[in-house]
Amino acid sequence: MGRLGFGVDIGGSGIKGAVVDLDTGALATERFKVLTPQPSTPPAVASAVAEVARNFAWQGAIGCTFPAVVRAGEARSAANVDRSWIGTNIEKVVGAATGSAVIAVNDADAAGVAEATWGAAKGQRGLVVVVTLGTGIGTALIYDGVLVPNSELGHLELEGVDYETKASAAARERDGLSWEKWAKRLQRYFSALEFYLSPELFVVGGGVSRRADKFLPLLKLEAHIVPASFQNEAGIIGAAYLAARPELDRESAGIDITSGRSPLVTP
Ligand code: BGC
């Protein structure tokens, strides 16, 4: 087993964590899940994350996804979590509850990073749009392997409504839609994304990507469209990687992280 990291995925209904093998992107442990407390206020969610981290006796940095715009560690929106998160510094609140250094990142952006590093978007040049279909719709834009954060294209307004309310996986269940009927809404959504962005590739994630064979073949687009390699685990994996990256970067620069000195430099 190589280097390990730890990721936690904060969602509207569950909070899941796992240890991640940072050489391959695979989960190194089973996932551990607790239900998202309701109301999902900052203190309640932070102690749920601490419970997840305790289950693994994890000591190092924690990568934490959050289902909203995240800028400099702070939540700047709250579509599917308690509104009191807006303006709250996720890294500080979860850091205080867990006693660890915390890096917070939008959930779809974390998934995009995992897919670009090890998964369905690995090595893809040009623009990749990662779309996660779950309670909401999350999007990540990756250009030549580099993330452009906080794209929020799940809230594209089409037919006069925020289209997340019509095309998310939760909307399919809520409206009791067949795969075919849901695919019509997805077609509308992906055609709009394609018109605005002309990506080379769409990667579709979220739990429902397990059933990708039921709806992806029904979509007609110019870009390739493929299921995410890591399905619903991509967020945990990407967040763990982002939290560990400062240390990984120092290692690859040849700096001995125990002494802080480069082994290549003679004192
Ligand atoms: C939020 C996004 C999030 C997505 C998936 C949307 O409602 O605005 O920030 O990535 O849901 O959780």
What is the distance in A from the centroid of ligand 1 to the CA of 257? 36
Residue 206 Cβ inside 6 Å of ligand 1? The answer reads no
Ligand 1, atom 10, residue with closest C-alpha: 138
Asked if residue 108 has its Cβ within 6 Å of ligand 1, the reply is: yes
Q: In the prediction, which pLDDT does 251 show?
A: 81
**Closest Cα to residue 34, out of 3, 8, 4?**
8
Task: Report which protein residue has its CA nearest ligand 1's atom 4.
Answer: 138
Please indicate whether the domains covering 4-107+233-253 and 110-232 agree at the CATH topology level: yes
Q: What is the pLDDT of residue 130?
A: 98
pLDDT score of 261? 45
Ligand 1 lined by 235 (C-beta under 6 Å): no
**Per-residue model confidence as pLDDT tens digits over 196-205:** 999 999 999 9
Ligand 1 geometric centre to CA of 136 (Å): 5
Q: State which of 77, 82, 137 you would mutate to test the pocket of ligand 1, scoring each by most atoms of that ligand within 8 A of its C-beta.
A: 137
Instruction: Give pLDDT, residue 224.
Output: 97
Pocket lining: 80 vs ligand 1, CB cutoff 6 Å: yes
Residue pLDDT, tens place only, 71-108? 999 999 998 899 999 999 999 999 999 999 999 999 99
pLDDT of the chain along its 267 residues, tens only? 679 999 999 998 999 999 999 999 999 999 999 999 999 999 999 999 999 999 999 999 999 999 999 999 999 999 889 999 999 999 999 999 999 999 999 999 999 999 999 999 999 999 999 999 999 999 999 999 999 999 999 999 999 999 999 999 999 999 999 999 999 999 999 999 999 999 999 999 999 999 999 999 999 999 999 999 999 999 999 999 999 998 888 887 876 544 444 434 333
Q: Atom 1 (ligand 1): residue with closest C-alpha?
A: 68
Q: How many angstroms does the Cα of residue 12 sit away from the middle of ligand 1?
A: 10
Considering the four listed CATH numbers 1.20.1300.10, 3.30.420.40, 3.40.640.10, 2.40.50.100, the one that applies to the domain covering 110-232 is 3.30.420.40
What burial class does residue 34 get, using C-beta atoms within 10 Å of its C-beta: 0-12 exposed, 13-18 middle, 19+ buried?
A: middle
- Tell me which CATH code domain 4-107+233-253 carries: 3.30.420.40
Please tell me the pTM assigned to this model: 0.94
| For the CA of 108, the nearest atom of ligand 1 | 10
Domain boundary assignment for the chain: 4-107+233-253, 110-232
Ligand 1: which residue has its CA nearest to atom 9? 68
